[in-house]
Amino acid sequence: MTSQPGVYRMLSAKGDVLYVGKAKNLKKRVSSYTKPDRLTLRIQRMISETVSMEVVTTHTEVEALLLESNLIKRLAPRYNILLRDDKTFPYILVTGDHPWPQVIKHRGARNRKGEYFGPFASAGSVNQVLATLQRAFLLRTCSDSVFSNRTRPCLLFQIKRCSAPCVDRISASDYQALVEEARAFLTGHSQAIQKALSERMDVASAQMEYEQATIYRDRIRAMAHVQLHQDINPLELGDADVVALYQAGGYSCVQVFFFRAGFNCGNRSYFPSHAQEAETADIMAAFLGQFYADKEPPPQILLSCDPSEPEILALALSEKAGRKVTVLVPKRGDRRRVVERAEENARDALGRRMAEGSAQAKLLAGVAEAFGLDNPPARIEVYDNSHIQGTHAVGAMIVAGPEGLMKSAYRKFTIRTLDGQTGDDFAMMREVLTRRFGRAMTEDPDREKGLWPDLALIDGGQGQLTAAIEVLAELGIDDVTLAGIAKGPDRDAGRERFFMEGREPFSLPLRDPVLYFLQRLRDEAHRFAIGAHRAKRSKAIGQSVLDEVPGIGANRKRALLHHFGSAREVANAGLTDLEAVPGISKAIAKKIYDHFHS
């Protein structure tokens, strides 16, 4: 074993990663596991399950920390402290790939040319700032295709939310000046902009150009509106994240506040998964490493407590950002007050989480009693279908457990044709359950990964339940409890009837909290299925038979439609006619002709 820095992975007999760790000296760290009597019971249990180990050496301990954080986030080993979060953060993007830049909300990979400002904690906080930018700087938010096809100003111009560059109501130089002002505003120079606008307003008013003065006044008010909503004065912070950790009862909550250019961009709560005996410093270090594994850290990170190995962590974050990142625990002043505010939010969030968990435990115990389960269910799956006379049919599965709805486990199923019975609800349910449990048998045959439900709830009556029972019988599955939930007479909520194999249909008391809980689950499945169906239907509305022709992109499609008038005429066109279309070569014309006449 080498004495270099690096990362090690402990593997089980099945090849699953149990733990990922980093070390300054791999030989010393790994040899420490050969004396389990000095380690905690949890680590002893991990060692007993380990049959092999993989090692990756690095040049420095900083590289090892970065690699460790990435591996933990990707592999989610059972014995590591885990940040369970799959949500991306929204940004504001001022585009740079068009002569007339637009300002839009952006989420996902930052691969479009332009300047990104953020992150923001939620879409709501982004929308608030976007609304301010519209009122204060009159920048366009429309797509490039809409912009290029406008012949007169849209409603946003009428209500003074856009300067209408699409129809030349503003010169290119004046519009670029607005863009520069917006950039300055988003980078923390709002006071200078407000002062300049105030001076322009006074000049316009003195020259009796009252309409122009009113425009400047409204722009000043829009910027002031955002500043008035800052309950603390973070302007001195600049770009910073405030991270506060609160522990109680063996659980933790990490609260993150985002400050960018002196503005509070919102906050978000996280609940890391860890052993009850985990130390605060280790939790904080693990959280920061995984949180910034796929995000750019700001210049300042203010913490409520010291993480383990703070110097190595600061160096790793600086290397990732390509500039210096300061990680500190403030002791006094405005920075300390901001951290204390975040700590209060973390404590309140954890209190709510634990209270909700207690109530959820009672509801799950009630579900176990209602359906005759031996123990409260750790995983409930609810299934529903959505379609219109068999078209754009979608199946949906939602999941709930002790911590509430598990949205990362939701699944959509595009219904495939089953012998022309696509509109058959029973056939749809058979297909969904066959695919769902067939995959579970492949991916988790030993039921160790938590992919199997204790209760599967089918939205429907006896017919749907019978279809589900037949599927599980064909697959040889006999340890999943199935139940159907159907609305009662006149489809009144509250009079639901439940169906189970070998049991007469039954109802729960009208005001029973368990009934209300099951109704919410059923309604959530219905909402999810309807949303998936509508998205599929909306996508189909914008499609054309030309989309199925290989090699036909947006430009060629537009040229064909302009030339022939409709997709049907393109399909009926002869080879010579297709070759006459501008932009369509003989090879492409032959491909189109063969597609429709094969």
Q: Which of 173, 202, 228 represents a domain boundary (last residue)?
A: 228
497, HSE (Cβ side, Cα atoms, 13 Å):
14
> Any residues with CB less than 8 A from the CB of 174 and at least 6 apart, and which?
163
DSSP 65-105: HHHHHHHHHHH--TTS-B----PPPEEEEEE-SSSS--EEE
CATH code of 320's domain: 3.30.420.10
| 529 and 550 together in one domain | no
Q: How far is CA 455 from the centre of its chain?
A: 27
The pair of structure tokens assigned to 532 is 């998936």
Cβ contact 542:554 at 8 Å = no
| 175 and 264 together in one domain | no
d(CA 479, CA 270): 34
| 395 and 346 together in one domain | no
Does residue 366 form part of some domain? Answer: no
DSSP 501-532: TTEEEE---TT-HHHHHHHHHHHHHHHHHHHH
| 554 and 529 together in one domain | no
What pLDDT is recorded for position 498?
Answer: 94
What pLDDT is recorded for position 357?
Answer: 78
CATH code of 20's domain: 3.40.1440.10
Does residue 94 form part of some domain? Answer: yes
Cβ contact 280:306 at 8 Å = no
195: closest CA among 215, 223, 174, 176? 223
| 396 and 469 together in one domain | yes
Q: Which of 193, 228, 263 represents a domain boundary (last residue)?
A: 228
321: containing domain: 240-351
Tokens 């930052």 belong to: 110
Contacts for 571-577 with beta carbons within 8 Å, 24 or more apart? 571/545, 571/596, 572/596
Does residue 310 form part of some domain? Answer: yes
What pLDDT is recorded for position 372?
Answer: 93
**What is the 3 state secondary structure string of 149-172?**
HCCCCCHHHHCCCCCCHHHCCCCH
Burial of 582 (0-12, 13-18, 19+ CB in 10 A): exposed
d(CA 468, CA 471): 5
Number of neighbouring beta carbons within 10 Å of residue 469: 16
Predicted confidence pLDDT, tens digits, the chain (598 residues): 688 999 999 999 888 899 999 999 998 888 888 888 888 888 889 999 999 999 999 989 999 998 999 899 888 898 998 887 667 788 889 998 899 998 899 988 888 899 888 888 888 778 878 887 888 788 898 888 889 888 888 888 888 889 999 999 999 999 998 898 888 877 767 667 777 778 878 888 888 877 777 777 777 776 665 554 444 444 467 789 999 999 887 889 999 998 887 777 888 999 998 888 889 999 999 999 999 988 889 999 999 999 999 999 999 999 988 999 999 999 988 889 899 999 999 998 888 887 777 788 889 999 999 999 999 999 999 999 887 666 778 889 999 998 888 888 999 998 876 544 556 788 888 999 999 999 999 888 888 788 899 999 999 889 999 999 999 999 999 889 999 999 876 555 567 899 999 899 999 988 788 998 898 899 899 999 888 877 777 666 556 677 778 778 878 888 888 777 777 788 888 888 888 888 888 888 888 888 887 6
Burial of 405 (0-12, 13-18, 19+ CB in 10 A): middle
Contacts for 266-269 with beta carbons within 8 Å, 24 or more apart? 266/120, 266/121, 266/122, 266/124, 266/125, 267/121, 267/342, 267/345, 268/121, 268/122, 269/345, 269/346, 269/349
Q: Which of 335, 351, 367 represents a domain boundary (last residue)?
A: 351
| 460 and 574 together in one domain | no
Q: How many domains does the chain have?
A: 5
- Residue 493's identity, in one-letter code, is A
d(CA 228, CA 230): 5
d(CA 110, CA 116): 8
The pair of structure tokens assigned to 405 is 């709805």
DSSP state, residue 306: P
Does residue 85 form part of some domain? Answer: no
The pair of structure tokens assigned to 432 is 């969904």
Tokens 């919410």 belong to: 520
d(CA 597, CA 574): 10
d(CA 88, CA 295): 9
pTM for the model stands at 0.66
| 387 and 517 together in one domain | yes
- Residue 512's identity, in one-letter code, is D
| 461 and 330 together in one domain | no
Does residue 460 form part of some domain? Answer: yes
What pLDDT is recorded for position 452?
Answer: 93
Cβ contact 318:325 at 8 Å = yes
- Residue 85's identity, in one-letter code, is D
Does residue 235 form part of some domain? Answer: no
DSSP 551-592: T--HHHHHHHHHHHSSHHHHHH--HHHHHTSTT--HHHHHHH
What pLDDT is recorded for position 229?
Answer: 46
Tokens 């019978």 belong to: 466
Does residue 292 form part of some domain? Answer: yes
| 506 and 582 together in one domain | no
| 318 and 447 together in one domain | no
What pLDDT is recorded for position 300?
Answer: 93
Does residue 80 form part of some domain? Answer: no
CATH code of 401's domain: 3.30.420.340
CATH code of 579's domain: 1.10.150.20
| 170 and 254 together in one domain | no
Angle between helix axes 462-475 and 425-443 (nearest 10 degrees) is 30
| 418 and 467 together in one domain | yes
